[in-house]
Chain A
Amino acid sequence: MSRAALLVLADGRFPAGGHAHSGGAEAAVKAGRITGAASLEDFCRGRLHTAGLVAASLAAAAALGVDAVALDGAADARTPSPALRTAGRKLGRQLMRAARATWPSAELDDLARRFPKGAHQPVVLGVAARAAGLGAVEAAYCAAYESVSGPASATVRLLSLDPFDATAVLARLAPEMDRVADRAVEAGRRVVDDGVDELPAGSGPLLEIGAEVHAAWAVRLFAS
């Protein structure tokens, strides 16, 4: 395993479409729930322990070789908002393209054949991690980090927040990302033995509601 491959996959500049999504931050900014660094940290902490934990567990299970169709169904069941399901599949499709070009693999080709319009992003992330020679731990870390780095960089653009403050938020959340990644890997291992019902089902209701409201706006900077 090349540990450096994790840096390539987790890099915010990895061309997989994430730059056009705010991870719910745009809706939260508009609703007055994110107004600065402190409320950004609260938002990110909530997202990390709910949607982030689910995504990291899906990614870990996929990296362990669990059937992608079953995982994709489990992701659907854990994503009440239709807008978020659409965004998740769109990002999955974009990640699939980038990963296939970056780490060509029969498993990624097979995933693309089964999901031409995209599987849920964390599922693709797990298969991409396998293709990159990475394991469940790395896949879980990548998903956990993405669950907070997306909203943080979007908030820099949305509020003209000081970019140093936004990065400091991510650094303060690092110990919690460690714990979320640990829990996700444990969940992923249980899924291998006992099926997808072992996946956590945490969810932030305001993230789901905000995504539906956001999808109906005529004017917005981010796609989700």
Chain B
Amino acid sequence: MHLDHSHDGPSAVSADARRPDGSRRALRIGLGGPVGSGKTATVAALCRALRDELSLAVVTNDIYTREDAEFLLREAVLPPERITAVETGACPHTAIRDDISANLEAVEDLEDEVGPLDLILVESGGDNLTATFSKGLVDAQIFVIDVAGGDDIPRKGGPGVTTADLLVVNKTDLAPYVGSDLSRMAADAKAQRAELPVVFQSLRGEPGVRGVAEWVRAQLSAWTA
């Protein structure tokens, strides 16, 4: 027989802003984007930038291994109990959009076990340009693409590029080597996204993840206001 010691009522069913005990839950930010665009590297850099000022945890959605979770553990960006891997049954976009139950369970268990938390980063498995997070799972989402994937991706658009709360164009240091035109990418992104923000970043040198970290801090201020 299981007894529920930590809650006044049964656990929440959806994205309620309050936990069953009445406290405000952590802000949840999703990171999605194509395979190899730098989602895990961005999560690692964000953890390093924010871990001294915020109580943080990460959920990874690997497609068929625990590789992303293990990378974060190896890099020791957070203590191991703050990193959880969700298995997605060959469909990473299903687990973040159509059937979010396993991910909701992971974020709630993290809050129960290592909370209170200010921020939970939910990293999607690498997917395609149509993958977006359900509003039932995250409060805001970052879509990560990179210059080496082709400078026509912002022009092609798709739900991730067009609607994500923040678009990150990663690996700008590679642009000269792969023939990508950053100003064209910026203009195309502007055309697709109107006023929604875009950050161009390279994690190979300064200022690294600072632009994304600033955006996350602003989301958190709005969440706790």
In the bound complex, do residue A16 and residue B101 qualify as a contact, i.e. CB atoms below 8 Å apart? yes
Given A13-B98, A97-B101, A220-B64, does the pair A20, B87 have CB atoms closer than 8 Å? yes
CB nearest neighbor in B for A73:
B1
Cα separation A98 to B98 with both chains bound (whole Å): 12
Q: Is the CB of A221 within 8 A of B13?
A: no
B11 contact set on A, CB distance < 8 A: 97, 112, 116
CB distance from B24 to the nearest CB of A (A): 20
Interface residues of A in 100-136 (CB under 8 A from B): 100-101, 109-110, 112-117
By beta carbon, the residue of chain B nearest A116 is B4
Query: Which positions 11-48 of chain B face chain A at CB distance < 8 Å?
Result: 11, 13-14
Chain B 58-74 interface 0/1 with A at a Cβ cutoff of 8 Å (1 = within): 00000111100000000
For the complex, give the distance between the alpha carbons of A218 and B63 in Å: 12
Question: C-beta contact mask, B84-100 vs A, less than 8 Å → 1, else 0?
Answer: 00011111001100111
A15 proximity list for chain B (CB < 8 A): 98-101
**Complex CA–CA separation, A19 to B98 (angstroms):** 10
Residues of chain A within 8 A (CB-CB) of B87 are: 20, 220, 222-223
- Contact pattern, A 208-224, Cβ under 8 Å of B = 1, otherwise 0: 00000000001111110
Residues of the B chain whose Cβ atoms lie less than 8 Å from the Cβ of A101: 13-14
Q: Which residues of A contact B101 (CB under 8 A)?
A: 15-17, 94, 97-98
Alpha-carbon separation in the docked complex, A18 to B91 (Å):
12
Q: Identify which of B4, B9, B66 gathers the most chain A CB atoms within 10 Å of its CB.
A: B4
How far apart are A216's CB and chain B's nearest CB, in angstroms?
Answer: 13
Known: A20-B102, A93-B105. A154 touches B89 (CB 8 A): yes
Question: Which residues of B does A touch, CB under 8 Å?
Answer: 1-2, 4, 7, 9-11, 13-14, 63-66, 87-91, 94-95, 98-102, 104-105
20 contacts across the A-B interface (CB closer than 8 A): A15-B98, A15-B100, A16-B101, A17-B101, A19-B91, A19-B99, A20-B87, A20-B88, A20-B95, A22-B89, A69-B1, A90-B102, A100-B10, A109-B10, A114-B2, A218-B65, A221-B63, A221-B64, A221-B90, A222-B89
